[in-house]
A and B are shown apart, each in its own frame.
Chain A
Amino acid sequence: MKKLLLGTTAILGVVGFASAAAADAPRVTVGGFIDFQAGYTDDDVNRTGEDYGFRNDTELHFSVDGKTDGGLGYGAVIELEADIDGDTTNSGANSDRTYVYLDGNWGRVELGSNSDAATALKVDASTIARATGGIDGDWFRFAAAPAGNFIVRPDLYTQHGGVTTPGDTENAGKVTYYSPDFAGFQFGVSYTADLDARGQDWTSGGATATDIISGGLTYNRQFDNVALGLSLTGENGDLVGGGDLEGYALGASVGVAGFNFAASWGDQEVNNQDGEFWTVGAAYDFDAFGASVTYLKSEQDVAAGSNDFENLVFGVDYAAAPGLTPYAEVSFFEYDSAGAGFDNDGTVFIVGTQLAF
């Protein structure tokens, strides 16, 4: 906390925060969402209980927004978790994101626990997906995760902290800068000191990675009826225990006449082991319905060979009323371990409804 304040003060000094009188008094707004899902899994794992269940995910978001006379925008975002139990990925302890921001014509700086620039700027099949997010959605919450190193999400390594089930390391404390949009181009860069430092403790438990720089460059352009998006994202850091970590991804999306198409390719090298993933997807919006199909394929080198993973997800959602979105999703996944390791393939069905307020 003290470091955060020192950092903020230093940056404010650079930007020239002279006037104490606010042009607009800060405004506090509350919002959030509640998402209820029923899911059923049909896979190769024998469970002691049932293969189906309910879950819900609820968050309460507070935003503070203000602007000074000099035109400096400032504020904070506090996203509180309102779940009865946190989940196994460590998400849901007290809050999901908490950060302070400053913005203006020069860009935007975010300080605190938020996802990084590479995540915000990436373009891949999941960024056009409907329902829970397709290949980057909630299918994994109902499927059995194998031990071993698989790439199961279209994300760079630090977004999931290197564990197979998506972890919550994306919210490690960091400093991020986004540039303004300049003729369609925008870049962002984040620095995370310690991937496991999310809350009040800054001393590194240091289990995973440190000293991570990540970021991306995007280009967005609307040509008459066609919308084009391109992204290049990457990261570089140090693994605890020695070893390098780096990765990059390229993505593109095209939108025309209600359709969206996207594809991406990513490559990572973690401690001299290579991993690659590809995504491709399409989405279509008609009236208040949205439908998407997304596909992810990945290969991760391990000592015994290559851990392969594939996932094909169909999702559909419907805007029943402002903020109320029922949806359904079916996902066909397959884990294929190198050698004689754990294999699992199956299908996850999810039906749910989300209320955003």
Chain B
Amino acid sequence: MFFSRKNLFLRIVLLTMAALLVTNCSEAPGTKRDDVSEFPMNPEDKRKLRHGRLTGEGGLKLFGGDDSQDEGGGTSPIGVNSFLWQATLDTLTFMPIASADPFGGVVLTDWYEDPEAAGERYKVTALILGRSLRADALKVTVHKQELDENGLWRDRPTSKELARRLEDTILTQARELRVVSTR
């Protein structure tokens, strides 16, 4: 009998496996690809590590491996996280770049006036702090000027919204770059 108790468990397992494997293969949206390193662990092991370890996150490295396995993002010679750096440049290239220092992690753009919004111009400063890919390692500030009635550029306050949106765009792209690079 198909649903006899003896076989029921096996049937459930096989059907579920089939269903999940098929959906995985079709790359349905919502699949978290960058968390696949989190695999189930025996509850006793989880308990042992619940309060961390003396030697830190991964244990004590004996030999082998290389620095690219750290979250710092690469054996690149620049002083800051390379994914954040590349994502910042990619995001800000619609504006003229006045200076870009990969060792200090500073990108300064020049004044940029959008042709469709005459009379307003923007300048962006992006700071990347440190080697790890974290949201708080990126700081973007936006400066705005408006043309007054005498034809002079005057500083105007900007809302933090634009800076935040630029930060989000850069962070999303940096994460995508990292996921692609670890495949």
Asked whether, in the complex, the Cβ of A29 is within 8 Å of the Cβ of B58, the reply is yes
Interface residues on chain B, number (Cβ under 8 Å):
50
Stretch at the interface among A8-16, A20-28, A47-55: A20-28
In the complex, B5 has a CB within 8 A of chain A: yes
Q: Which residues in chain B, 19-72, are within 8 Å of chain A measured between CB atoms?
A: 20-21, 23-24, 30-33, 35-44, 46-56, 58-66, 68-69
A25 touches B13 (CB 8 A): no
Asked whether B98 is an interface residue with its Cβ less than 8 Å from the other chain, the reply is no
A160 interfacial contact with B, CB 8 Å: no
Is the beta-carbon distance between B33 and A248 smaller than 8 angstroms?
no
| B51 & A322 in contact (Cβ 8 Å cutoff) | yes
- Residues of A close to B183: CB separation below 8 A: 71, 105
In the assembled complex, A286 has its CB within 8 A of some CB on chain B: no
Query: CB-defined interface of B107-130 with A at 8 Å, one 1/0 digit per residue?
Result: 000000000000000000000000
Q: Does A346 contact B (CB under 8 A)?
A: no
Complex CA gap A126/B44 in Å reads 9
Query: CA–CA, A121 to B46, complex, Å?
Result: 12
Chain B contacts for A30, CB-based, 8 A: 59-60, 62
What's the least CB distance linking A352 to chain B, in Å?
13
Is B55 touching A244 in the complex (CB atoms < 8 A)? no
Given known contacts A122-B43, A133-B47, A234-B9, A356 and B52 CB-to-CB distance under 8 angstroms: yes
Cβ contact within 8 Å between A103 and B17: no
Chain B minimum-CB-distance residue to A324: B54
Output the least CB separation between A105 and chain B (Å): 6
Tell whether A33 pairs with B48 under 8 Å between CB atoms, given A28-B63, A63-B59, A357-B55.
yes
Report how far A303 CA is from B38 CA in the complex, Å.
45
| A contact residues around B42 at 8 Å (CB) | 114-115, 119-120
Instruction: Establish whether residues B54 and A120, one from each chain, have CB atoms under 8 Å apart when the complex forms.
Output: no
Across the A-B interface, give the 10 residue pairs with the lowest CB-CB distance, nearest first: A27-B65, A31-B59, A120-B40, A323-B54, A29-B59, A319-B51, A357-B54, A322-B52, A234-B9, A323-B53
Measured CB to CB, the residues of A under 8 A from B are: 24-31, 33, 61-67, 71, 73, 103-108, 114-115, 117, 119-122, 126-127, 129, 132-133, 136, 178-183, 185-189, 213, 215, 217-218, 232, 234-236, 244, 246, 248, 269, 288, 290, 317, 319, 321-325, 354-357
Identify 8 new A-B residue pairs, CB closer than 8 A, beyond the known A179-B21, A356-B51. Answer: A30-B62, A127-B43, A136-B44, A180-B24, A187-B13, A288-B51, A317-B51, A357-B59
